[in-house]
Amino acid sequence: MARIIERLEAAYPDAKCALDHENPLQLLAATILSAQSTDKMVNTITPALFRKYKTAAEFAKAHTAELESMIHSSGFFRNKARSIQGACRIIADQHHGEVPETMEELLKLPGVARKTANVVLGVAFGKAEGIVVDTHVQRLSRRLDFSKESRPDKIEEDLMRLVPRDKWILLAHLLIYHGRSKCTAIRPKCAGCPVEDLCYSEDKTV
């Protein structure tokens, strides 16, 4: 694990969250929008969205149909609009308009499970309370024998046991970058992989 992390750090020195944002509220909304979508798609939606809605109160009071129209291309737009508005109502009413900084409080927000909470805590607040497990992290954790589990929560538990806490936030960024550039779901680019000799996956390519 340590050797793999070291090599991935060298290969992806600029690894960071790919969702464009300027504050924790924008990151929260963008992360909710990214479910079943791509960061690239979300980044095409959020500039206009964040120009129109700048605070949790503004999101909460938005006309739902207008909000849905603005986020339509992200998919599942009705559920996402409901989650964003529900979360922003709680943030506006119970947290003085500020995104909460604890896992416990974040998980109380509509549309927020551990993955989203870990993104917000790690990226916006620099708090390593867990490890983001998205589809890339899930796939690579199994390929690299970090975990035999299939459920994201179980994979997260395995990673937290294996990885030093000071690497929890970075690890997710590294695996996501590697999953997008080399270790793709179909026909991974093993010939140019920086950790090829440390990987024993059955679906390696030549």
Residues 88-101: tens digit of each pLDDT: 999 999 999 999 99
Does residue 169 contact residue 130 with C-beta atoms inside 8 Å? no
Q: Is the pLDDT of residue 48 over 80?
A: yes
Q: Is the pLDDT of residue 205 over 90?
A: no
The full set of domains in the chain, from first to last, is: 2-14+133-198 (1.10.1670.10), 24-125 (1.10.340.30)
**Tokens representing residue 21 in the block:** 């944002």
Does residue 147 contact residue 97 with C-beta atoms inside 8 Å? no
Does residue 67 contact residue 81 with C-beta atoms inside 8 Å? yes
Q: Is the pLDDT of residue 117 over 90?
A: yes
pLDDT tier at 153 (50, 70, 90 boundaries)? very high
Positions marked catalytic: 115, 134
**Tokens representing residue 190 in the block:** 């093993």
Question: Which position has the token pair 């989650």?
Answer: 83
Q: What amino acid occupies position 86?
A: G
Kindly report the pTM of this predicted structure: 0.95
